[in-house]
Structure 1
């Protein structure tokens, strides 16, 4: 499928924070339009037509052919962009003339790959359009400026409950526009269109009307515009400083993952997310961050071995917090890679081994107790089992292992990596090396045994 991205507008309301072209506004390290490119790529769409207008030469020079972000970009010029965004859509007509259907997005709308996939899967009526609609208007921050949509959603639901055979029971668009007083949804800026939208826009242009909403309104009057419910997928129209702040929050709130352990969820993420937000503006890569975190982990291990337990515990916890930053930057800037995941996992396992070896040596040197050697050996055996079980579960089922779903009561044990690092922190500042090794050995092995027993019902 091909996507058309409108990038012709002037963006006057963003001038106070960004003097350049609006599509190139940097949001947490990536220009708005590049975020759109990467979102489309993640949704499986790599063929993109960008419609240029205001300061189009600057936008073209900055983006090139799109290969830097794994997409193919071609350009269309809209000489009449000032008349309205409908004129910009018509400028892309030669590029989508042979397409059965295509996606239409706005360069200044922040959307998720899931939202794009939902609209792409929503087949438009013959010669019509499917409009991505957020049926929860209350979550739209600047509702006055949003394009409202009125649908026959209730009637459509009744038809579906009645089991109407061979009938399209999706809500039809009844009206669309910014000034609607009666509405049940908001246009999120993603459309699944056919050539019928171009025909409608041409007819509107002949009447002196040049907005995209004019074209959709015309199709709605003909019964050829349906609403695609985007569900809980998030989006934001980034058109003023307040919207920029909302967009930043939206992106940062998505950084924690369902796989987070107890300490990551309640402590580490509260520290790592602001760090990632600050680092996003720099050209630092996730792999560089992974290696920097590994060096800190190795330093903590050396401090433990030297008997500096307090310093070792503090550095270990700092490394634990920073261990989340590489993944957050990867998600935030669309830099995830299979090699990066492997590289990070290997460094984590080596780091775990170094920490336990360092603490075992330091404890034995300080106490002379052979229990330190036993507990250290058991902790070394149990340490990699947490990640190994998760990886094997994913390999066998194709699903992520989620501690909150699969672990039962053992999710409260500090046995995942974030928990083990926190135990090392507490043990270090309390200077209780032997007790720390005993706790790590017990929790990691107990978690492995209970997980093995519980997973029988999931496999």
Structure 2
């Protein structure tokens, strides 16, 4: 069995951060989301992995390399434009050959791995296996309709009137039968080859498609609030490890990971918190569910329930929360001026200011 990992999407809902970085490499507890997926694939006993990459392919290649650090053998499959999930299968035809495969969306976060899914897959009994989970608002997802015996009888991509509350999780199992399906379908109204259309084609042509309901935690990390929620879930399970330096004026409460080279002085850290290597925390407060990347500086600052990426600095700023701060960012107090705001913002930014 092989794995096809999709890491070519543009991540429009995370702009402006995704204007310069691959969304699949955004950190959860200081580890890229994509790495959790690759580890889950390895733990399921799969070695051969094809990674579909797009405009941010160079960044993904630099982070993952040849896959050996994960115990994998990685092949990169360039996609000229984000033309749909089924298009990814189409361009991966030579890599996949006639093997069964798992397709894993690189920006999805699934607690518990995929060992159970892979072990349950029976290519003699069905041509595809789709993971489903109930969601509050299925209109934002691909949605499955089940028959009386639990088999999938219909799929729809982000329907206005969902047939159920069962969203399609971004992990699929396929036999080689799917290759005929992706060749047979046409682009949707949004100009993409939809994997839901390919699976529907299989159903319409007499192939059995099996549903696998998951009850564990799953998130599509396409929005800031989803990233922060995943960060919270992972930090819930950390164990204290203080490899850096903490002075005697600092108070640490709860579970905290402090990587080697990090320094904390005259501060209050209330876990769960992860602080990356070579980061300095001086005269500051870090509240629960916060991840600070490598080489950062926090001085006279307060921050909680947030993610700060590598090489960023926050100085002299009180009470930042529920925030996602990118790489190499500087956050400092504004100069005092009457009733004015001075802003430099990227495309599609969201800013909330006091009146």
User: What range is the shorter-chain TM-score in?
Assistant: 0.5 to 0.7
Deviations 1:173-224 (A, max 9, x none): 4223211521141111111101111211111148975111111121122342
- 1:137 alignment partner in structure 2: 135
Q: Is the 8 A contact 1:115 1:234 kept in 2?
A: no
Checking the alignment, whether the CA contact within 8 Å between 1:119 and 1:230 is kept in structure 2 is: no
Give the corresponding residue for 2:234.
251
Q: Which of 146, 163, 179 pairs up with 1:198? A: 179
Cα distance in structure 2, aligned partners of 1:282 and 1:173: 50
Alignment RMSD (CA, Å): 2.8
Corresponding residue for 1:299? Answer: none
Q: For the residues of structure 2 that align with 1:194 and 1:116, how far apart are their CA atoms?
A: 17
The equivalent of 2:158 in structure 1 is 178
Gap regions ≥5 residues in structure 1: 157-169, 257-269, 285-328, 330-459
Matched with 1:95 is: 95
* Contact map agreement 1:149 1:185 (CA 8 A) in 2: yes
Are the equivalent residues in 2 in contact too, given 1:148–1:187 (CA < 8 A)?
yes
Tell me the CA shift for residue 14 of structure 1: 1.4
| 1:338-371 deviation line (CA, Å, top 9, x unaligned) | xxxxxxxxxxxxxxxxxxxxxxxxxxxxxxxxxx
- How far apart are residue 92 of structure 1 and its match? 1.2
Aligned to 1:216: 199
TM-score (norm. length: structure 1) = 0.50
Q: CA deviation at 1:283?
A: 8.0
Counterpart Cα distance in 2 of 1:244 and 1:7: 16
Change (3 A) 1:247 1:227: farther
Is the 1:43–1:116 contact (alpha carbons within 8 Å) kept by the matching residues of 2? yes
**Could you report, residue by residue, the CA deviation over 1:225-267 in whole angstroms, capped at 9, with x for unpaired residues?**
52432332221100010111221122234558xxxxxxxxxxx
* Matching residue of 2:59: 58
1:48 maps to 49
When residues 109 and 6 of structure 1 are mapped into structure 2, their CA distance, relative to the original with a 3 A threshold, is same
1:39 Cα deviation from its structure 2 partner = 1.7
Point out the structure with max Rg over C-alpha.
1
- Kindly indicate which of the two structures has a greater share of residues assigned to strand: 2
Give the 3 Å change call, closer, same or farther, for CA 145–116 of structure 1 in structure 2.
Answer: farther
How many aligned residue pairs are there? 251
Report the counterpart of residue 2 of structure 2 in structure 1.
Answer: 2
- Extract unaligned runs of 5+ from structure 2: 240-252, 257-269, 280-290, 292-355
Cα distance in 2 between the residues matched to 1:5 and 1:253:
27
Report the more deviating stretch, 55-64 or 223-232.
223-232
2:104 is the alignment partner of 1:105: yes
- CA 1:215–1:122 in structure 2 vs 1: closer, same or farther (change >3 Å)? same
Q: Return the TM-score normalized by structure 2.
A: 0.63
Structure 1 counterpart of 2:331? none
The separation in 2 between residues aligned to 1:85 and 1:196, in whole angstroms, is 16
Q: What's the offset of the Cα at 1:110?
A: 0.6
User: If each structure's helix is expressed as a fraction of its own residues, which one has the higher value?
Assistant: 1
